[in-house]
Structure 1
Amino acid sequence: MSRLHVDPSQYLAQLAEKKTRLVELLAPFAAPEPQVFESPRAFYRLRAEFRLWREQEQRFYAMFEAGDKHTPILLEDFPIASQRINELMPRLKAGWEASQALSFKLFQVEFLTTLDGDALISLCYHRPLDDVWQAAARQLASALEVSLIGRSRGQRLVIGKDHVVERLQVAGRTFSYRQPEGAFTQPNGEVNQKMLNWAYEALGERQDDLLELYCGNGNFTLPLATRVRKVLATEISKSSVNAALANLADNDVDNVTLVRLSAEELTEALNDVRPFRRLQGIDLKSYDFGSVFVDPPRAGMDPDTCELTRRFERILYISCNPETLAANIAQLHDTHQVTRCALFDQFPYTHHMESGVLLERRKG
């Protein structure tokens, strides 16, 4: 059985290369030495997706190298995934092998887990799902102590919950997060927890208000809301907005107003370019914004949104792409200085990295 090429003995050398790359990208801006937050060497990834590959009348978990969809890497386990996923993989396989209703035209399996073992499994099919499937799925979900979702064209059948509940510790407080199937969540729970604590400390205790762009399911919103008077948060994805609203309610966070707008749309609203019905009843002028928090997609902030952030005394920026981070800092460097910097190793054994910077307005 094939294995993915992961060598924990090379971890620190690979992490050092990432640090060097980040330092070089931020050198033109006189950024301080980055804090480096390591990942666990194994069992760190809380979600995983596998195609199923048929060989000799059996189905195996399979992954593929980038650009090659014809040569499967067949897996019995997946050491970079959480221990819960590794514990479930053989038991799920035994479950579908024992049931024609579960195995027939099953082509993909997705796992979503949490640090304390909550688990949701999605089974994807090239056929309609019927009552026989639902009966078998209920039995399997009970045996595995998971929630199950069956997916086929036009169907989504939920056995149990359609989300997991993650619990993360930030500054001595536990925050709970509903993480729905199919919505974006941070894949590395231990490093995510380190990111949240870093952002909490970097923002500091404030007496003014926070603007948050790209808030997702409220991952950063919950702890950062405890550091400011009130928060205006924006997110464009409906599923993420619904998850964020549930997370705010579950954690009794009542000083956040969440608006379903893109960062570009909010920029237009704050610049009085045009009104938005989704902002009705919200007095933007009542906010005393001192800080802005951004966690944009890989493309970074567009130039207009980047220009908007220039208005704020503090810009707290989490980035999944150091190149676009550097480009955005270049646009802001004449008015803001990088005063904190961090590297979060969300994706060990790859070239990808998550980074964070605090930019503060230059004096004088």
Structure 2
Amino acid sequence: MPFPYDPDNYSQQLATKTATLTQLFEGWQTPELEVFDSPKSHYRMRAEFRIWHQDDQSHFAMFKKEDPKTPVFIDDFPIASEQITTLMGLVREAIHQDPELRFKLFQVEFLTTKAGDALITLIYHRKLDEAWQQRAEHWQATWGIPVIGRARKQKLVLERDYVNETLNIAGKAYQFRQYENSFTQPNADVCEKMVSWAVKQTANCTEGDLMELYCGNGNFSIPLAENFNKALGTEISRTSVKSANENIELNNIQNLKIARMASEDLSKAWLHNEPSRRFNEFSIGDYNFNTVLVDPPRAGLDEDTIKLIQRFDRILYVSCNPNTLIDNLTTLKDEYDITAFALFDQFPYTDHIEAGVVLERRTDS
């Protein structure tokens, strides 16, 4: 099996992750670690498969890291949402029945939600024409699921290119429009727990303002904004900025703005006064920032971004790589105390650990 799956031993695996993270922070003064588990199965809201054509048959396929050239056919994918497992069977049957759908089909991607919405993307090594579109429209109507066709320099959206999600955050329902081919949290149940944790940590911040770097589609910023006077999110992806602004409107959030700007560019403009049209578009002096949320890539925060977040009295740091988290915290430890500490099991049965910490500036620093 090219993907890890061992539900009978899930509790032990989570205990191992807990011990690993605890040991990594040995020597640091931390509060008790909060551990947020995942469902044992059907937790992934999205999945991507290669299509392998062999002996007049087409198969969903994945590859092992140690043997990236040999396909492993996937007939069952229990880590994916139940909706994905159902759609896999429907799509597989359609591919076998329909030569137009099958011809040079390279990859299939599924995007689903807890709210029951779904999207199927079919990716080809050929230009998509009217004949393909007619057949794809037939299958879209048959499945009752929007279909997108992709090829080199080509994207055909038959109905829409997003799904509508509803997440329960700290007891309140939030609506999110999630676009195809853009980042969304893969494990929706753990996402709800993670954002709810962040909301809890900022429950008494109404006198100050929030900044979020790497804000994506507003997954954190939108629920958190209600804990603050004002909020500002920064994000470099055009699609994510579009999605965030639509989600702000969907949830009727009045105090949150999104700036399309990389955190590195924000740091240069704010710390070093480098000219920046985008930085000047929002009036930084109108904000009374006391809290910053960062959820960086695996590489962690660069030196300038660390200097930037040191302007804030409270830092919420969500990390997909505890080793780079430790590296970044080493720079901050003389000024801040860790007041909350959490593990979020986004990826069960893997070594991947998602961690969250809250840092509060020491009054004597």
TM-score band by shorter chain is over 0.9
CA distance in 2, matches of 1:108, 1:248: 33
What's the offset of the Cα at 1:239?
A: 1.2
How many correspondences in the alignment? Answer: 363
Amino acid at match of 1:17: T
Check whether the contact 1:29–1:337 (CA below 8 A) recurs between aligned residues.
Answer: no
Q: Is 2:244 the counterpart of 1:236?
A: no
Tell me the alpha carbon deviations over residues 96-146 of structure 1, each in whole angstroms, 9 at most, x when there is no partner. Answer: 211111111111101111012211111011111111111111111111111
The alignment status of 1:162 with 2:161, answered yes or no, reads yes
Q: Kindly report the root-mean-square deviation, in angstroms, between the aligned alpha carbons of the 2 structures.
A: 1.3
CA drift at 1:272: 4.4
| Separation in 1, partners of 2:304, 2:363 | 24
CA apart distance, 1:281: 4.0
TM-superposed CA distance for 1:69, in Å, is 2.1
Would you say the 8 A contact 2:177–2:243 is kept in 1?
yes
Tell me the residue number matched to 1:83. 82
In 1, are the aligned partners of 2:213 and 2:294 still within 8 Å (CA)? yes
User: Structure 1 residue 275: deviation in Å?
Assistant: 2.5
**Which whole-Å CA distance do the structure 1 matches of 2:189 and 2:263 have between them?**
28
Cα deviation, 1:297-345, whole Å, max 9, x if unaligned, reads 1111111211221221110111111001111111100000111001000
CA shift in 2, pair 1:327/1:135, >3 Å: same
Residue in 1 aligned with 2:57? 58
Equivalent runs, 1:115-126 vs 2, <5 Å: 115-126=114-125
C-alpha distance in 1 between matches for 2:188 and 2:295: 17
Task: Work out whether residues 149 and 158 of structure 1, in 8 Å CA contact, stay in contact via their aligned partners in 2.
Answer: yes
If the length of structure 1 is used for normalisation, what is the TM-score? Answer: 0.97
Taking only the aligned residue pairs, the percentage that are identical comes to 47
Quick check: 1:68 aligned with 2:67?
Answer: yes
Contact 1:120 1:148 in 2 (8 A): yes
Distance 1:232 1:7 in 2: 41
Cα distance in 2, alignment partners of residues 202 and 5 from structure 1:
33
Q: Secondary structure at the match of 1:69?
A: strand
Residue identity in the other structure for 1:310: Q
Q: What aligned pairs does 1:24-35 form with structure 2 within 5 A after superposition?
A: 24-35=23-34
Could you tell which deviates more after superposition, 4-13 or 187-196?
A: 4-13
| Aligned pairs for 1:164-203 within 5 A | 164-203=163-202
Deviation at 1:4, TM superposition (A): 4.4
The amino acid that maps onto 1:48 is A
Query: Which residue of structure 1 lines up, in the alignment, with residue 285 of structure 2?
Result: 285
- Helix, strand or coil for the counterpart of 1:29? coil
- Match for residue 218 of structure 1? 218
CA distance in 2, matches of 1:281, 1:81: 42
Does the 8 Å CA contact 1:4/1:73 hold for their aligned counterparts? no
Quote the residue 1:142 is aligned against.
141
Partner of 1:266: 266
Q: Write the mapping of 1:320-331 to structure 2, written as runs, cut at 5 A.
A: 320-331=320-331
| Distance across 2 between alignment mates of 1:268 and 1:153 | 36
User: Secondary structure in 1 aligned to 2:293?
Assistant: strand
Runs of 4+ in 1 over 3 A off after TM superposition: 2-5
Hey, what does 1:252 align to over in structure 2? 252
* 3-state SS of 1:228 partner: coil
1:171 to partner: Cα distance: 2.2
SS in 2 for 1:357: strand
Unaligned runs of 5+ in 2: none
Give unpaired runs (5+ residues) of structure 1.
none
8 Å CA contact 2:266, 2:279 repeated in 1: no
Kindly state the Cα deviation for residue 161 of structure 1 after the two structures are TM-superposed.
1.1
